[in-house]
Structure 1
Amino acid sequence: MTGVQVATNSGLFQEALHVLPGGNTRSTLFVPPSAPYAAVGDGAHVVDVDGHKVIDCNNNYTSLIHGHRFRPVLEKVHEIVEQGTSFGLPTESEIRLAEELSRRLPAAEQWRFVNSGTEAVMQAIRIARAHTGRDVIVRFAGSYHGTSDAVVDLTMPGIPRSVADSVVTLPVGDAEQFKAFVQERGREVAAVLIDLMPNRAGLKPADESFVALVREETKAHDALLIIDEVITFRSSFEGLQGVYGVEPDLTTLGKVIGGGFPVGAVGGKATVMGATNPALPGTIVWGGTFSANPVTMNAGLIALDYFQQEDIRELNAKGDALREGLLKAGVRCSGFGSLIRIFPDDMNTTWWGAYSEGLLFGTNGLIALSTAMDDATVEKILQCVINVSKF
């Protein structure tokens, strides 16, 4: 499948190389030889700067649950920006979004907002350490939890060797190794951090018995359980934790709860979240100039208002049908509901083949559906993926 790359960039890439390492800001958007540059999005589609139109199955890595230019969000944002974009005071909007999140995740009685999923995980780890008085964080190999030192591969450039003293990485799903570790060092553990369907690890749902074991052992050793739902919250009204029937001590969110704007959130029991209460002595100082800004809070609330139980069910049904069709055609894939991951032999060639045929998915094969997609659009996605997977 040689030479499938469509003409892109209109010279922008060469300009970008002078001021942006590699030509852009996000490593996840880089696809050799150079990624296309977006110009406009509308509903389920994106048009790049060269006028090439594609179905957007990336949706900014799962964030745009309603696709591009979702009218109710735009109308609310236009109203809000006329009143002010951010303040050195709290606003009512953060109360309302926190209330909605607690309605969906009853285990999370209180919330704090930040500007990304990375920040949410960073703060959840700090809360866990402050609450327990312990240092060790346990995470699972292959899972992505942002870009902070504690949650990336310890062999990556720029990570201090000292991080290894307080972060333990275990193989996901290995019950015996997990039990052996907590039996030996469980009383040192502040929290176990888990994604119930980690994208970077293949978007394969975690084993239910393993999740139950992690919850049981964290309770037994007075450690906290942090569930990272930055990507998976869209999977059900109560996120994947609702599907698994597991109640964490802390939950991290992002993506869909911002309505297309930068967002992150940490939620948990009031006794745990008290570690961030500024009215109490010795608590975590939590700033963030644009955290809980009214534009994001209102956009997120509107996006969730239009993503209720029935909306989630319908979108998941489209995803299930798409995944079933791909598997029937012999395309290797995994996932749950509206999230799908495909595994071509040559990702770069397949990505460009799909893009040239009018389909944009993640550079790692991630497909994230949006409510802007009708059945005909999903059928086009199916046929396109099948076509490019034949090469």
Structure 2
Amino acid sequence: MRARTPTSPTLPTQISEKLYQRARLVIPDGVNRSTVERHPHPDYAGWGHGAYLHDVDGNRYLDLNNNFTTLIHGHTFEPVIEAVSRALRDGTCFSNPTLSEIHLAELLCERIPAVEQVRFVNTGTEAVMFAIKAARAATGRPAVAKIEGAYHGAYDWAEAGQTGTPETWGPPEEPLSVAYYSGQPGSVTDEVILLRFNDAEGARRRIAAHHQRLACILIDPMPSRAGLLPPDNAFLTAVVETARQYGVLIIADEVLNLRQGYNGASARFGLNPDLITMGKIIGGGFPIGAIGGSKAAMAVFDGRGGPPLLPQAGTFSANPISMVAGFTSMIAMTRQQFEKLDRLGNHLRASLRQLIAKYEAPFSVTGAASLFRLHPKADAPREYRDAYLSGQEAQTMRWLGRHFKQHGIVLPYAAAACLSTAMDESDIKLIIDTFEKALISEEIGA
């Protein structure tokens, strides 16, 4: 088929190119996060407002990244700006606790069914790290079970097994825990047991086989980098029943997926974990992480009767700026706002699927609530191995990202795209129209 749409003009990038050259002199690889996209250089942000990001070269984009799903209200949300501006005048951090941390803790305990108590940290990585440590402290066991391909931050035992390839991931019935980085200790990978997402019988068998050394099962209810896939009820039931049978704690990683509803993702899918890790949207655009759970599970942090089983501290943990920003942002996320995002997300995913069917295109769509992900596969994946991109598929998705950028949209590569409360139907239409232009272009995948 011949292209029906003209190629868009090249966007200006000169300032970003020069900044990247400067950055590479003083920062390894020129960036501070390996997740920053470069084609072949990053686009340096200038400012953001509402649903849109403006780069230093003057380009304007509908932002479907929102700092990796953090900004649920979009950029420069005015209530947060006002609240933080007032808080800054009182001090940015103290060694003492503040009232603001009680406010945010009370909100989370009220909303999230599995959360009776909360401890705050600075990042999602820290939240996962301390949740795993809490499970170890409670059970006296060292090992962790997690979903193959799932991302849980930068703690060694959370990283192992997230980057397997067809050459390294092993047989389906015994997936191998592949080291994440060169030099990662073999003792780490030995203590990480992989479960394949939506493989109920495999989960029962693997948990039972390793239960004597398993402290916890780390599970994202809808793992983003592993495909943003919905869980089967049978799979969740298998995980919960087997974990309870052997006294293994369940940690739900909702650092990303808490945005799926007023009560979070576990409640949405019927999962009742012992511990929940949170971050991103609960910080209102500022660094934050949190570990929540039942009083029994959180008791390992309690030092009132002597040294706690698990000491936890951090210079900036529960700093008042993050607490105030997070509380203000979350108060604004009413049930009605979550329902709005559900409606926009449902409309978008349905429209994308209609276009795929109309053009008989080799794509599929996954996601829920305000999250979606496009796959260059005719059949929607059910687990990580299905979602893994071949060389040609990766090339197609790189092309699609460039196509969206040329049409004024930031589309994350191989990760969840997300909506914000700052978006409306016109923004959804822009996404739909841009995808249709891609489907009728002979350049796709070239």
Same topology, TM > 0.5: yes
Contact in 1 for aligned 2:224/2:415 (Cα 8 Å): no
Alignment of 1:220-259 (within 5 A): 220-259=245-284
Mean CA deviation greater in 161-170 or 194-203: 161-170
- Relative to structure 1, the CA distance from residue 158 to residue 261 in structure 2 (aligned partners, 3 Å threshold; closer, same or farther) is farther
Deviations 1:28-60 (A, max 9, x none): 112331121100000010110100001111111
- Mapped to 1, the partners of 2:413 and 2:210 lie a distance apart of 38
1:122 aligns with 2:147: no
* 1:68 partnered with 2:103: no
Q: Which amino acid aligns with 1:217?
A: T
Q: Which residue of 2 aligns with 1:293?
A: 319
Q: CA deviation at 1:265?
A: 0.5
Q: SS in structure 1 opposite 2:278? A: strand
Give the residue type in structure 2 aligned to 1:79.
R
Q: 1:273 aligns with which of 286, 291, 298?
A: 298
Superposition deviation, residue 25 in structure 1:
1.0
Structure 2 counterpart of 1:28, from 35, 39, 51: 35
Aligned amino acid, residue 137 of structure 1:
V
Quick check: 1:327 aligned with 2:353?
Answer: yes
State how far apart, in whole Å, the 1-side matches of 2:84 and 2:22 are: 32
**Deviation sequence 1:112-149 (CA, Å, 0-9, x none):** 11111111100100000001111111001011101111
Q: 1:71 Cα deviation (Å)?
A: 0.4
Answer yes or no: is the 8 Å Cα contact 1:5–1:352 preserved in 2. no
Displacement of 1:356 after TM fit? 1.6
2:160 counterpart of 1:155: no
The Cα offsets for residues 176-224 of structure 1, whole Å up to 9 and x where unpaired, read as: 2222222222232110010111111110111111111111111111110
| Structure 2 partner of 1:343 | 375
What corresponds to 1:208 in structure 2?
Answer: 233
- Give me the TM-score of the superposition, normalised by structure 1: 0.96
Post-superposition shift, 1:389? Answer: 4.3
> What's the CA shift for 1:10?
4.4
Q: AA paired with 1:286?
A: Q
Select between 60-69 and 182-191 the one with higher mean Cα deviation. Answer: 182-191
Give distance in 2, aligned partners of 1:79 and 1:387: 46
Instruction: Please say if residues 64 and 418 of structure 2, whose CA atoms lie closer than 8 Å, have aligned partners that are also in contact.
Output: yes
Letter in 2 for 1:188: R
Q: Distance in 2 between matches of 1:389 and 1:61?
A: 26
Q: In structure 1, what is the equivalent of residue 412 of structure 2?
A: 362
**2-side partners of 1:34 and 1:86: how far apart?**
35
User: Which deviates the most, 78-87 or 375-384?
Assistant: 375-384
Using the alignment, how far apart are the partners of 2:330 and 2:59 within structure 1? 31
| Aligned sequence identity (%) | 40
* Rounded Cα–Cα distance in structure 2 between residues aligned with 1:285 and 1:45: 42
Paired positions, count: 391
Q: 1:204 to 1:47 in 2, by over 3 A?
A: same
Tell me, yes or no, if the aligned pair for 2:113 and 2:267 is still in contact at 8 Å. no
CA contact (8 A) 1:4 1:352 kept: no
Counterpart residue number, 1:318? 344
Cα separation, 1, equivalents of 2:217 and 2:110: 24
Q: CA deviation at 1:332?
A: 2.2
| Distance (Å, rounded) in 1 between the aligned partners of 2:415 and 2:237 | 29
Contiguous gaps of at least 5 residues in structure 2: 162-177, 357-362, 377-392
Residues 1:386 and 1:22: Cα distance change in structure 2 (over 3 Å): farther
CA contact (8 A) 1:257 1:303 kept: yes
Q: Is the 8 A contact 1:120 1:252 kept in 2?
A: yes
Q: d(CA) in 2 for partners of 1:41 and 1:101?
A: 28
Moved more, 123-132 or 329-338: 329-338
Of 24, 31, 39, the residue aligned with 1:17 is 24
Contact 1:182–1:217, Cα closer than 8 Å, also in 2:
yes
1:257 is aligned with what amino acid?
I
Question: Does the CA-based 8 Å contact 2:116-2:293 persist in structure 1?
Answer: yes
> 1:93 — aligned with what?
100
Paired residues of 1:347 and 1:365 also in contact (CA < 8 A): no
Q: TM-score scaled by structure 2?
A: 0.85
Is contact 1:276-1:284 (8 Å) kept?
yes
Q: Give the superposition deviation at 1:388.
A: 2.9
- Give, in whole Å, the separation in 1 of the partners of 2:207 and 2:222: 22
Q: Aligned in 2, Cα 1:27/1:388: closer, same or farther, shift over 3 Å? A: farther
Q: Report how far residue 4 of structure 1 moved.
A: 7.2
The whole-number CA distance in structure 2 between the counterparts of 1:76 and 1:186 is: 47
Q: In structure 2, what is the equivalent of residue 375 of structure 1?
A: 425
- Mean CA deviation greater in 235-244 or 272-281: 272-281
For the Cα contact (< 8 Å) 1:353–1:388, is it kept in 2? Answer: yes
Q: In structure 2, what residue type is equivalent to 1:381?
A: I
Alignment partners' CA distance in 2, 1:66 and 1:385: 24
Aligned to 1:168: 193
Of the structure 1 ranges 5-14 and 260-269, higher mean CA displacement relative to structure 2 is found in 5-14
